Structure 1
């Protein structure tokens, strides 16, 4: 098996990239859409805001856990490294591939969504949607072939533009005074069973919108100073995202009452039409395109790092760990991009999206378990950062993740079955790879 020394990643990333990849990998179209569905389920201003704050607290607890793990084990690929260290190679292999599938689906989805929004702006391009999606994919492949520094610069630029767009939208909403908002009445049925189900469904949606906050951990090996930059990136970036999410919800409901926005498929557009007139929908479409471009750039980089790490550990082809002169794992990038291209051409991946969410939560849960396990099994492991509130916070993270996982298992039996089948089939593949590895050594 090739050694890490022969395939070095370039240590060229810093704090700016860390914050940018978190913001870019988290803020997408979800925050433009999800508030309408949540408003339809909760129908209470303070409960809705409280749900977004609760999701933010969960993320901040997660920041502590990931900061400890990523600074203790600063390797490319993120979560699977910690799980492998805590629970052995098979657990690492399985979680690594779960994580890869989850993240490798994303670029195809984002390319398709960008093409959909471009067609909204330019209806004459309706028949060219697939070509537009492929063009974006090819463009970003070429960008990342040029090197990790280029990807970092693009990420910082797109994330900055994204934040400025959202801040401008928030300010515009709060400056608007054309609609008188009635006083919010407290819902006296908040303890009903219906409320409990609605709140947890809303929390699942909120956490889905926050997903991506741990993106910097995939790049720990390329960070100039991971011990300092990773915790700072995680907490700074997460606080920025939480503030934007909470304030944008407050801004939406400042302009229009909850009843007007409940179950709206694109709340931001409804609000922008009131604030900016008919041009409002165009403004939101432009914001959406920039949001997705930033998140697409992030997710062109993330699965590549996971596949690089898996290859280096013998869990994929040796060529997957090949790094070009610009610091990009070139073979892993091309393989991931071919997978995205196939998905774009097929054009239907709704089932893959739900499966991806299932796999993602499974990896989170295993990651938080690994923190607790490593604290017990390796008390002397050098930990430049220790998670706050241990052991309460990681236990809470495990319990919340398990709760979400059971909720998914109950509501999506098909994805559960697929995940079980993948897990069962993975073991003989793992044994085959291990035997091949042993033969190479001998």
Structure 2
């Protein structure tokens, strides 16, 4: 058996894994934390719900374009494959590493946050926070070393438990009749400058909570039937996540008036305290742990796939393509886990996370543009799936991406400066790799 054949990823994943990794890789603690912050920024019930709905519709437009791209080029690593094919080697290199940075940060963060939530339930473990975070990382590293099938089973179980927890929380909120919600006063000065700033900051937070919606595309090469499974899972998964997000916000508003919710740092805990008394915070902590285990599992699987694809195209070391018997890109997994271990030890995420939504918007926007480019550049490329209402849906997605990016630059210029810095450093690195090849 040749080395190339030996290092092929295995086609062992199906539709249920796709939906599970999309839900598991998207819904996290963000939806439990951000409703209060967004309510404070916008201070208008309908504007808050409209913001979450807008985020969902934007992601749905993305699912429409990605369904065509991922079935046309079903390769490990997702977005950068389409960008490289359409816009050239450097665009592929830059977007691939952007995507990798965005996806390799979360595992370390989630390990730390899970350990913090465990300490809330068991305060006696307070001095073991870092030890627990590192232990979690090693436990998931061992799980994924054992093979992609085990990771898939854990993903499906934890994602199902997560959905059940959120449905139960939303149901409990709507069944609650103990508080009469006062009529929300609408703000007639919707377009004053402070609110526009708040709207874009809110959208940056909302896009952050939707991050992971295109997870299935990273596993396209391992899918048993990508032509059917990828579009089905993208549409059904995105609609389900958007519905949960809008319903969670509406449910929280049913229990607490917007003025009260706006002062909450952890909206879900305050709502649960009213619903379930003092044990409410513990219930939210348990839901958070389920959410985080599911999302941690997904993000332990995603970065190695991106690194595998980058290695195969000469954008990282050749050993990055090594796959073990269980179908796991083993060197890529070890490299990503070492990066996570380093982040756990230094524990600094604020700067890294602040530009994650920025990077995502840039990569998605380039992918949408790639769809337009490939339709004209390679019209005969096999397309098992054609996006709805092309080219208008793709053009709208590009315009929305540019508008969001402009809004993010306006509301968060520091992150934009960091991105310019990363981009400036990237070109000499790209040239060095090209020379080596």
Structure 1 partner of 2:202:
202
Distance change in 2, residues 1:114/1:156 (3 Å): same
Distance (Å, rounded) in 2 between the aligned partners of 1:183 and 1:299: 41
Shift of 1:358: 2.7
2:432 aligned residue: 432
SS at match of 2:383: coil
Does the Cα contact within 8 Å between 2:256 and 2:271 map onto a contact in 1?
A: yes
Question: In structure 2, how many angstroms separate the alpha carbons of the residues matched to 1:354 and 1:243?
Answer: 25
Counterparts of 2:136 and 2:436 in 1: how far apart (Å)?
Answer: 38
For 2:275 and 2:51, how far apart are their aligned partners in 1? 25
TM-aligned CA distance change 1:150 to 1:387, over 3 Å: same
| Mapped partners of 2:357, 2:44: distance in 1 | 27
Structure 2 unmatched ranges of 5 or more:
none
Q: Deviations over 1:299-336 (max 9, x none)?
A: 00000000000011111111100000000000000010
Matches within 5 A, 1:374-393: 374-393=374-393
Separation in 1 of the partners of 2:433 and 2:287?
A: 45
Unmatched segments (≥5 aa) in structure 1: 438-442
Other-structure match for 2:423 = 423
Normalised to the residue count of structure 1, the TM-score between the two structures is 0.95
Residue in structure 2 matched with residue 47 of structure 1 by the alignment? 47
Q: Which secondary structure state, in structure 1, belongs to the residue aligned with residue 355 of structure 2?
A: helix
In structure 2, relative to structure 1, the CA distance for the partners of 1:187 and 1:426 (3 Å cut) is closer
For 2:293 and 2:335, how far apart are their aligned partners in 1? 21
Aligned to 2:189: 189
Q: Give the aligned partner of residue 8 of structure 1.
A: 8
TM-score, length of structure 2 as denominator length: 0.97
Kept after mapping to 2: 8 A contact 1:105/1:352: yes
How many angstroms apart in 1 are the aligned matches of 2:7 and 2:28?
33
Contact 2:200–2:408 under 8 Å retained in 1 = no
Question: For 2:277 and 2:312, how far apart are their aligned partners in 1?
Answer: 54
Please identify, of 417-426 and 291-300, the stretch whose mean Cα deviation from structure 2 is larger. 417-426
**1:306-321 → structure 2 map (5 Å cutoff):** 306-321=306-321
Q: How does 1:11-30 map to 2 (within 5 A)?
A: 11-30=11-30
Task: Give 1:6 deviation, angstroms.
Answer: 4.1
Distance, in Å, in 2 between the alignment partners of 1:384 and 1:4 is 26
1:81 lines up with 2:54 in the alignment: no
2: CA distance, partners of 1:436 / 1:50: 50
Query: Matched residues in 2 for 1:86 and 1:291: separation?
Result: 36
SS in 2 for 1:372: helix
- For 1:440, the equivalent position in structure 2 comes to none
In the other structure, the counterpart of 2:58 is: 58
Partner of 2:245 in structure 1? Answer: 245
Match of 1:265 in 2: 265
Partners of 1:324 and 1:110 in 2: CA distance: 26
Distance 2:409 2:203 in 1: 16
Tell me the distance in 1 between the aligned counterparts of 2:191 and 2:172.
Answer: 36
Distance in 1, matches of 2:159 and 2:414, equals 36
Quote how far apart the aligned CAs of 1:198 are.
Answer: 2.3
**Residue 294 (1) aligns with residue 294 (2):** yes
Preserved contact between residue 211 and residue 360 of structure 2 (Cα < 8 Å): no
- 8 A contact 2:84–2:90 mirrored in 1: yes
The count of residues paired between Structure 1 and Structure 2 equals 436
| Per-residue CA distance 1:200-231 (angstroms, 9 max, x = gap) | 22222211111111000000000000000000
C-alpha separation in 2, matches of 1:210 and 1:111? 20
Structure 1 residue 61, shift from structure 2 partner: 0.5
Distance 1:339 1:293 in 2: 19
> Is 2:158 aligned against 1:158?
yes
Q: 1:246 to 1:414 in 2, by over 3 A?
A: closer
| Distance in structure 2 (CA, Å) of the matches to 1:156 and 1:209 | 20
Structure 2 Cα separation of the partners of residues 411 and 65 of structure 1: 27
What residue number does 1:370 align with? 370
- The residue that corresponds to 1:396 in the other structure is 396
Contact 1:61 1:393 in 2 (8 A): yes
| d(CA) in 1 for partners of 2:436, 2:312 | 14
Following the alignment from structure 1 to structure 2, what is the Cα–Cα distance between the partners of residues 382 and 3?
28
Report deviation, 1:417: 3.1
Q: Distance in 1 between matches of 2:186 and 2:26?
A: 32
Contact 1:105 1:356 in 2 (8 A): no
Alpha-carbon contact 1:3-1:312 (below 8 Å) kept: no
Which has the larger displacement, 203-212 or 295-304?
203-212
Structure 1 counterpart of 2:149: 149
